[in-house]
Amino acid sequence: MTFESIDYSAADGIARIVLNRPERLNAMNRRLISDLREAVIAANEDEAARVIVFSGAGRAFCAGYDLDWGTRAEDATQREMAGHWDPVRDYEGMSRNVRVFMSLWESPKPVIAQIHGWCVGGGTDMALCADLIYMAEDAQIGYPPARVWGEPTSVMWVYRLGLEHAKRLMLSGESLSGAEAERIGLASKAVPAADLPSVVEEMARKLASIPANQLALSKLLVNQAYENMGLRTTQLIGTFFDGIARHTPEGIAWRDLAMKEGFREAVRRRDAPFGDYGEGKRA
């Protein structure tokens, strides 16, 4: 099966989905999200596959939404509506993305996210919907749009972490290294980057040795406990709040800055007080 923005393959009971826009650090656009939806469907329709490994090509797992595309698309939509913002239209558009991310959560087959390099912004909305997270020790994961122009839409930070760490990371937008993510329970394991593929492969093969129906039952049982905690309601609010955050006076000013001076400069100014992420990292 061939896709424009994803590499998909399956063998030995393992389906592999690889984000493949390395020149953009796998930043998400409409095509990549659409390809992800179809790849997850393909993996679940493959009766021989029992587990999904989800990774990114090149230097990063995913640098979030492609700001070059996203800021211009949002500006064009608002101009089309004579400068007004339709929160329902915004919610419907963003919730389509959340449904694609949640297809990883809903997949009867367990999904292992293999994270190296950067996983930031919208990339975390996607990655944290996986079942297990394995990271390179020097990888960085965080949600910098919490500082301006966004809120997590899948809100999985809340459900994967305790109160203190969830609030710290969502209030500050600070990033965690893979080693830190393992320490606070966000990742199952963090290993040297060179060892990451083989460690994930070992776990995937172990899971692939278990009957598919057993895996599906175990996953559904754990997921249901979190569904009962109000996960879907929280995501509805998170998706609405994301739209509001992008249309506050500060959010619109930041979008205008990104369009006028480029996303690198906008990101640099946003993150300068924290001294993190670095110039050119998309979110």
Residue 237 CA to residue 104 CA, distance in Å, equals: 20
Is position 71 within any domain?
yes
Q: How far apart are CA 277 and CA 174, in angstroms?
A: 9
Residue 83 lies in domain: 6-271
Helices (H) and strands (E) counted in the chain, each on its own, are 12, 9
Which residues are within 8 A (CB) of 62 and not within 5 positions of it... i.e. 6 or more apart?
Answer: 19, 25, 26, 27, 28, 56, 118, 119, 120, 122, 123, 126, 127
Number of domains in the chain: 1
DSSP E strands in the chain: the ranges are: 6-11, 14-19, 51-56, 111-115, 118-120, 132-136, 140-142, 175-177, 189-191
Within a domain: 277: no
Answer yes or no: is 282 within a domain.
no
CATH number at residue 221: 3.90.226.10
Rounded to 5°, angle at Cα 69 from 66 and 70: 75
Residue 177 belongs to some domain of the structure:
yes
Instruction: Report how far residue 101's alpha carbon sits from residue 123's, in angstroms, rounded to the nearest whole number.
Output: 10
In a domain, 283, yes or no: no
Domain for residue 197, yes or no?
yes
Does the residue 278 lie in any domain? no
Which secondary-structure segment (H or E) carries 263?
Answer: helix 263-271
Structure tokens that stand for 280 in this block: 């050119």
Look at residue 1 and tell me if it is in a domain: no
pLDDT tens digits for the chain (283 residues)? 789 999 999 999 999 999 999 999 999 999 999 999 999 999 999 999 999 999 999 999 999 999 887 777 777 877 788 778 999 999 999 999 999 999 999 999 999 999 999 999 999 999 999 999 999 999 999 999 999 999 999 999 999 999 999 999 999 999 999 999 999 999 999 999 999 999 999 999 999 999 999 999 999 999 999 999 999 999 999 999 999 999 999 999 999 999 999 989 999 999 999 999 864 444 4
